[in-house]
């Protein structure tokens, strides 16, 4: 399973990329606005840092605008995947951009029906928002199971990119189901790194090493 970071924060991107953890990035207008500054420079920098796919989102809601923006976004790098919304115009743009060799991530997916239509339109990725479904009392991870089964039944090449992840348990559940990608906020990826027993174990190992050094100050690893 691939791990994408859902952010436009360059510091977080560099930190986790240096650990070898990132397969790609997803962004949206909200995340770019949160970071401030020139969004064009931010997108350019992200595409230079990350070798894998970088999803950059259109803001137009009609077909011709999505096409123009999609082509401009692709100029930031050959690793750019254009994010289009799950709307009739978004699907039309997906088909056209894909025909031009520009991969598309269909975003704001909340049902298996929508996921099937995105796959039929040729999307490289489909992004179901599981956390937002959980927020309204629906089963977000159940949707991932449905989409995964349908895509397997018909051998769709579209990859399931699990979005709106709220905690590390979502990541484990997505991996068990067989989702292709999870995209995580930096704080969730940070939580995945940690476990209290790791901290306790390291503390004990270092304490025991200090005992050895007390007996022989010249000892080294």
Catalytic residues: 83
Measured between alpha carbons, how far is 141 from 183 in angstroms, rounded to an integer? 14
> Whose CA is closest to 168, among 146, 193, 143?
193
Cα–Cα dist 163/57, whole Å: 14
67: left (phi over 0), alpha (psi -120 to 50) or beta: alpha
- Please check whether residue 1 is in contact with residue 182, taking contact to mean a CB–CB distance below 8 angstroms: yes
Backbone angles phi, psi at 87, to 5 degrees: -135, 165
**What Rg value do the Cα atoms of the chain yield, rounded?**
21
If 0-12 CB within 10 Å is exposed, 13-18 middle and 19+ buried, where does residue 189 land?
buried
3-state secondary structure 141-161: HHHHHHHHHHHHHHCCCCEEE
Q: How far apart are CA 142 and CA 165, in angstroms?
A: 14
Tell me the β-bridge partners of 181.
Answer: 2, 161
């Amino acid at each position: 399973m691939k791990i994408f970071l859902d952010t436009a924060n360059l510091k977080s991107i560099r930190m986790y990329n240096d650990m070898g953890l990132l397969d790609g990035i997803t962004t949206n207008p909200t995340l770019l606005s949160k970071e401030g500054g020139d969004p064009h420079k931010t997108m350019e920098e992200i595409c230079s840092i990350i070798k894998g796919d970088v999803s950059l989102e259109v803001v137009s809601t009609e077909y011709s605008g999505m096409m123009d923006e999609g082509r401009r976004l692709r100029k930031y790098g050959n690793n750019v995947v254009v994010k289009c919304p799950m709307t009739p115009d978004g699907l039309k743009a997906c088909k056209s951009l894909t025909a031009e060799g520009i991969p598309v991530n269909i975003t704001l997916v909340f049902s298996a029906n929508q996921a099937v239509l995105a796959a039929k339109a040729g999307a490289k990725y489909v992004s179901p928002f599981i956390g937002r479904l959980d927020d309204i009392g629906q089963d977000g991870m159940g949707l991932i199971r449905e989409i995964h089964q349908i895509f397997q039944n018909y051998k769709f090449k579209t990859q399931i990119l699990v979005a709106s992840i709220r905690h590390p348990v979502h990541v484990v559940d997505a991996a068990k189901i067989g989702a292709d990608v999870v995209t995580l906020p930096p704080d969730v990826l940070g939580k995945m790194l940690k476990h209290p027993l790791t901290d306790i174990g390291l503390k004990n190992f270092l304490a025991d090493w200090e005992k050895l050094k007390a007996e022989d100050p010249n000892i080294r690893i």
